[in-house]
């Protein structure tokens, strides 16, 4: 993604975060239950991390936010809600970029638009994958801790308990 495109997204951050918050509030139950200011704050962190990841290849902010979300899953946030948020980013950015290219805010024509959308979608898909990897690592660590700290005392290991009870 070009620097001018990155700057355009940064310049319109507030509007894009508001659109993302609104769209996600309608489609993800956990976000719909949160106060609007909290959803906007959450989407701001997500937007900043994903845009830095797509534009500069810097995953630092995104991974820090993902680790926070991983710890929150199981409390009042589900894995599906987070993934829905990540998949909503390219939808909102596509609408914004269509308008930007149509109004010639960004030059380059249709080929440049298609290239930018491809980069946005691939970056968001990689972000979803990274979040799922962090979530898996978190669950495996919880299973390991459970098994070491007393799972054997009950005569069953945690992973067997999940598979064969129910």
- CA 65 to the chain's CA centroid: 9
Q: Which two tokens stand for residue 66?
A: 């993902």
CATH topology of domain 3-127: Globin-like (1.10.490)
Task: Check if the beta carbon of residue 71 is closer than 8 Å to that of residue 112.
Answer: no
The three state secondary structure string of 87-153 is HHHHHHHHHHHHHHHHCCCCCCHHHHHHHHHHHHHHHHHHHHHHHHHHHHHHHHHHHHHHHHHHHHH
Task: Check if the beta carbon of residue 119 is closer than 8 Å to that of residue 21.
Answer: no
- Give me the residue spans of the domains in the chain: 3-127
Q: Which range has the worst mean pLDDT, 29-33, 53-57, 146-150, 158-162?
A: 158-162
The pLDDT of residue 150: 64
DSSP 152: G
The total number of residues written for the chain in this structure:
166
pLDDT in tens, 20-41: 999 988 888 888 888 889 889 9
Arithmetic mean of pLDDT, 44-71: 88
CA distances from 37 to 22, 32, 41, 65 (A): 11, 11, 6, 17
Query: Distance between CA atoms of 71 and 140, rounded to whole angstroms?
Result: 13
pLDDT beyond 90 at 121: yes
The pLDDT of residue 127: 92
pTM over 0.85: no
């Amino acid at each position: 993604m070009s620097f001018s495109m990155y700057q355009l997204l940064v310049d319109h951050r507030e509007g894009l975060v508001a659109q993302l918050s609104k769209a996600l509030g309608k489609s993800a139950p956990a976000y719909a239950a949160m106060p609007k200011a909290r959803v906007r704050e959450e989407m701001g962190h997500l937007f900043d991390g994903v845009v830095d990841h797509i534009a500069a290849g810097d995953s630092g902010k995104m991974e820090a936010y993902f680790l926070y979300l991983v710890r929150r899953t199981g409390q009042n946030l589900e894995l599906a809600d987070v993934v829905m948020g990540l998949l909503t980013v390219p939808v909102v950015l596509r609408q914004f970029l269509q308008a930007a290219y149509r109004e010639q805010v960004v030059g380059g024509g249709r080929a440049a638009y298609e290239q930018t959308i491809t980069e946005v979608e691939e970056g968001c898909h990689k972000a979803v994958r990274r979040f799922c990897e962090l979530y898996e690592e978190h669950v495996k660590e919880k299973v390991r801790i459970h098994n070491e700290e007393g799972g054997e005392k009950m005569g069953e290991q945690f992973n067997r308990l999940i598979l064969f009870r129910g």
